[in-house]
Amino acid sequence: MKPRLMIVDDEKDMLRLLSRSIGKALDCEVETACSGEEALRLFDPDAFDLALLDIRMAGMDGMAVLEEIQSRAPGFAVIMMTAYGAIEVAVEAIRKGAYDFITKPFDHDELVHHLRNALERGRLLKENLAFKKKAQAKETFQRFVGSSAVMQGIYDSIEMLSKSDLTVLITGASGTGKSMAAKALHEMGDRRKAPFVRVSCPTVPENILESELFGYSKGAFTHAAADHKGLFVAADGGTLFLDEIGDIPPSIQTKLLQVLENNEFKPLGQNRTVRVDVRVVAATNRDLEDKMARGEFREDLFYRLCVVDLKMPSLSERREDLPLLVDHFLDRYCGRYGRGKKPLAPDVMPQMMNHEWKGNIRELENIIKRAVVMSTGTMITLHDLGWTPHECVAALETEDLSATPYRDAKESVLAQFTTAYLEKALERSGGNVTRAARASGLERQSFQQIMRKYGIRSEPFRNSATK
Average pLDDT over residues 280-301: 94
* Residue 382 shares a structural domain with residue 336: yes
- 149 and 130 in a common domain: no
pLDDT of amino acid 256: 93
Residue 284 lies in a domain: yes
Based on the domain organization, do 272 and 157 belong to the same domain?
A: yes
Are 388 and 411 contained in the same domain?
no
> How confident is the model over 52-106, as pLDDT tens digits?
999 989 889 999 999 999 999 888 899 998 876 667 787 888 888 888 888 888 8
User: Residue 133: what pLDDT?
Assistant: 58
How confident is the model at residue 440, as a pLDDT?
A: 83
Backbone angles phi, psi at 5, to 5 degrees: -115, 150
Q: Are residues 304 and 328 in the same domain?
A: no
Evaluate whether residue 397 is within a structural domain.
Answer: no
Same domain, 363 and 293: no
pTM above 0.85, yes or no: no
Q: Are residues 190 and 303 in the same domain?
A: yes
Q: Please report which helix (H) or strand (E) contains residue 282, including its range.
A: strand 279-284
Burial class (CB in 10 A: 0-12, 13-18, 19+), 286: middle
Q: CATH code at 440? A: 1.10.10.60
In a domain, 455, yes or no: yes
Mean pLDDT of the chain: 86
| Domain end position, chosen among 92, 109, 135 | 135
Same domain, 13 and 93: yes
Q: Is residue 22 domain-shared with residue 67, that is, in the same domain?
A: yes
pLDDT band with cut points at 50, 70 and 90 for residue 397: very low
Give CA torsion, residues 217, 222, 223, 227, to 10 deg: 0
Q: What is the band of 444 on the pLDDT scale with cuts at 50, 70, 90? A: confident
The CATH number that applies at residue 369 is 1.10.8.60
Q: How far apart are CA 355 and CA 340, in angstroms?
A: 26
What pLDDT sits at residue 460? 78
More confident residue, 322 or 386: 322
In a domain, 467, yes or no: no
Domain-located, residue 466: no
Q: Which residue has the higher pLDDT, 388 or 144?
A: 144
Q: What pLDDT, on the 0 to 100 scale, is given for residue 466?
A: 41
What would the mean pLDDT of 252-279 be, rounded to a whole number?
Answer: 91
- Do 298 and 424 lie in one domain? The reply is no
> Cβ distance 300 to 255 under 8 Å?
no
Measured CA to CA, the distance from residue 239 to residue 428 in angstroms comes to: 38
Query: Is the same domain home to 148 and 224?
Result: yes
Q: How confident is the model at residue 421 (pLDDT cuts 50, 70, 90)?
A: confident
Residue 425 lies in a domain: yes
User: What confidence category does residue 138 fall into, taking pLDDT thresholds of 50, 70 and 90?
Assistant: low
Instruction: Give the pLDDT band (50/70/90) at residue 403.
Output: low
What CATH number is associated with residue 30?
Answer: 3.40.50.2300
What are phi and psi for residue 320, nearest 5 degrees?
-65, -15
Mean pLDDT of the region 174-202: 95
- Kindly state whether residue 399 falls inside one of the protein's structural domains: no
Q: What is the pLDDT of residue 418?
A: 80
| Last-in-domain residue among 294, 313, 332 | 313
Tens of pLDDT, residues 196-244: 999 999 888 887 898 899 988 887 777 777 888 899 999 999 999 999 9
Last residue of a domain, one of 348, 365, 392: 392
Q: Identify the three-state secondary structure at position 51.
A: strand
For residue 413, being part of any structural domain is answered with yes
CA geometry: angle 389, 420, 349, nearest 5 deg: 50
pLDDT at 84: 63
Higher pLDDT, 219 or 408: 219
The CATH number for 225's domain is: 3.40.50.300
Is 371 a residue whose pLDDT tops 80? yes
Q: Map residue 205 onto helix, strand or coil.
A: coil
**Contact present, 105 and 119 (Cβ < 8 Å):** no
Q: Which domain holds residue 339?
A: 318-392
Tell whether 154 and 286 lie within a shared domain: yes
- The answer to whether residues 179 and 241 touch, using CB atoms and an 8 Å cutoff, is yes
